[in-house]
């Protein structure tokens, strides 16, 4: 994991896309096997009964992937300020998701270097989650 | 689907805005952090074993259920459509936090792809033992009426 510095970042910089495969097992394991959660996360039949094409991928798992994706891009000395996402359409377990992102703003705010990114998850090239992430990134030493 | 041109939000619903839940103690557990890190393949040294720090997505395990007494039921069904997490300081493993949830807004959404819907917004503040906010989450539930089948 390498460190990114504020001076080296420009608007429209793109993050390397990252593929993740959500599975029913991952959905259940994410919340812990002993924790009750939405049955549609771990059971394709329950998802179909609710009108979806199979088991649903939990929104909080996708939010966590996005958080982790930007954190890894920013580096270990960066600090996450906020992540905001809108769930646009359901994702079905077993279909790969691609995370992609780009820098939309960089500014100094109260002495901190703030970088803002737009991030999406894509299934079949269609956005399923859209998000904005703000992260504080250090200056080059 | 019939067009709705008037709000279904009543004064009674609006009166709930600003109300807060009693504090609920939540604890960022080490075993949850380990399990989630492994699942996400997260090798970030900031919250590696021995640091005592939880990864930010530990909030997914800590979010309390939305209290029924703070949840105006304007329409019959609802789904989570937006979430925001804000971080003011690192979250320490095994350090109890007090979670206080507040209804912050109820708003009409006239028109749109699914017709009339209502946005119900909640904020949960996570306070440390000094009463400082360590993190907060904002959740938006979109309420809608299921079409009759």
3-state secondary structure chain A: CCCCCHHHCCCCCEEEEEEECCCHHHHHHHHCCCCCCCHHHCCHHHHHHCCCCCCECCHHHHHHHHHHHHHHHHCCCCEEEEEEEEECCCCECCCCEEEEEEEEEEEEECCEEEEEEEEEEEECCEEEEEEEEEEECCCCC
Q: What share of chain B in percent tops pLDDT 90? A: 78
Q: How confident is the model at residue B21 (pLDDT cuts 50, 70, 90)?
A: very high
Altogether, the residues listed in chain B come to a count of 149
Q: State the ipTM, two decimals.
A: 0.92
Query: Quick one: pLDDT at residue B29?
Result: 96
Q: Cα distance from A78 to chain B (closest Cα, Å)?
A: 10
Residue A83: which of B46, B81, B84 has the nearest Cβ? B84
Residue B38 phi, psi dihedral angles, 5° rounding: -65, -45
Task: Read off the pLDDT of residues B83-107 as tens digits, 9 standing for 90 and up.
Answer: 999 999 999 999 999 999 999 999 9
In DSSP notation, chain B reads -----S----HHHHHTTT-BPPPEEE---HHHHHHHHHHHT---GGGSTTS-B--GGGHHHHPPPPPGGG----SSEEEEEEEEEEESSPPBTT--EEEEEEEEEEEEE-SSTTSSEEEEEEEEEEE-TTS-EEEEEEEEEEEEPPPP-
Q: Among A19-28, A53-62, A105-114, B112-121, whose mean pLDDT is lowest?
A: B112-121
Average pLDDT over residues A19-44: 85
Question: In the predicted model, is pLDDT for residue A26 greater than 80?
Answer: yes
Chain B hits for A35, CB-CB cut-off 8 Å, are 61
Interface of B with A (CB under 8 A): 32, 35-36, 39-40, 42-46, 55-57, 60-61, 63, 79-87, 138
List all residues 6 or more positions away from B97 whose beta carbon is below 8 Å from its beta carbon: B25, B26, B27, B28, B62, B91, B126, B127, B128, B134, B135
CATH of the domain at A104: 3.10.129.10
Whether residues A63 and B60 touch (CB distance < 8 A) is answered with yes
User: Is residue B3 over pLDDT 70?
Assistant: no
User: Has residue B1 got a pLDDT over 60?
Assistant: no
What per-residue confidence (pLDDT) applies to A131? 97
Q: Does the beta-carbon distance from B44 to A64 stay under 8 Å?
A: no
Q: Which of A30, A59, A81 is closest, CB to CB, to B86?
A: A81
A26 in a structural domain: no
Q: Least CB-CB distance to B43: which of A1, A67, A79?
A: A1
Number of domains in chain A: 1
Region A109-128: what's the mean pLDDT? 96
Does residue A101 fall inside a structural domain? yes
pTM, full prediction: 0.92
Q: Is residue A25 scored above 90 in pLDDT?
A: no
Higher pLDDT, A45 or A101: A101
Decide if A32 is inside a domain.
no
Q: What is the pLDDT of residue B2?
A: 55
Contacts of A82 (CB under 8 A, 6+ apart): A133, A134, B84, B85, B86, B87
* Over residues A21-49, mean pLDDT: 84
Residue B148: band (very low, low, confident or very high) from pLDDT cuts 50, 70, 90: low
Q: What is the CATH number of domain B11-28+65-144?
A: 3.10.129.10
CA–CA distance, A41 with B149 (Å, rounded to integer): 25
Q: How far apart are CA B61 and CA B51, in angstroms?
A: 19
CA–CA–CA angle A50, A62, A13 (5° rounding)? 140
Mean pLDDT of B18-45: 95
Edge to edge, the sheet with strand A97-109 lists A14-20, A97-109, A112-123, A126-136, A79-87, B77-87, B133-144, B117-127, B97-109, B24-26
Domain that holds residue A95: 6-21+58-136
- Tell me if B87 and A76 make a contact (CB, 8 A cut-off): no
Kindly report, residue by residue over A48-104, the tens digit of the pLDDT: 887 888 888 999 999 999 999 999 999 999 999 999 999 999 999 999 999 999 999
How large is the average pLDDT for residues A112-135?
97
């Amino acid at each position: 994991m390498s460190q990114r510095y504020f001076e080296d970042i420009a608007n429209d910089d793109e993050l390397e896309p990252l593929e993740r495969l959500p599975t029913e097992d991952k959905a259940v394991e994410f919340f812990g096997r002993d924790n009750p959660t939405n049955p549609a996360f771990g059971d394709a039949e329950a998802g179909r009964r609710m009108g979806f094409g199979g088991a649903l991928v939990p929104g909080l798992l996708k939010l966590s992937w996005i958080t982790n994706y930007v954190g890894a891009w920013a580096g270990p000395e960066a600090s996450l300020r906020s992540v905001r996402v809108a769930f646009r359409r359901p994702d079905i377990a077993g279909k790969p998701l691609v995370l992609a992102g780009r820098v939309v703003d960089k500014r100094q705010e109260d002495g901190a270097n703030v970088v803002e990114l737009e991030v999406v998850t894509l299934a079949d090239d269609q956005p399923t989650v859209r998000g904005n992430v703000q992260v504080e990134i250090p200056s080059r030493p | 689907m019939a067009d709705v041109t008037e709000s279904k939000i009543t004064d009674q619903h609006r009166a709930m805005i600003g109300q807060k839940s009693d504090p609920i103690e939540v604890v960022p557990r080490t075993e949850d952090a380990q399990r989630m890190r492994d699942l996400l393949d997260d090798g970030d040294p900031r919250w590696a074993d021995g640091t005592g720090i939880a990864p930010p997505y530990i909030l997914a395990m800590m979010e309390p259920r939305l209290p029924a007494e703070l949840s105006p039921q304007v329409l019959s069904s609802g789904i989570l459509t937006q979430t925001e997490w804000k971080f003011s300081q690192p979250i320490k493993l095994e350090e109890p936090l007090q979670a206080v949830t507040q209804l912050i807004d109820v708003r009409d959404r006239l028109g749109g792809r699914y017709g009339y819907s209502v946005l119900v917004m909640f904020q949960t503040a996570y306070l440390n033992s000094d009463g400082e906010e360590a993190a907060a989450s904002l959740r938006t539930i979109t309420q809608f009426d299921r079409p009759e089948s």
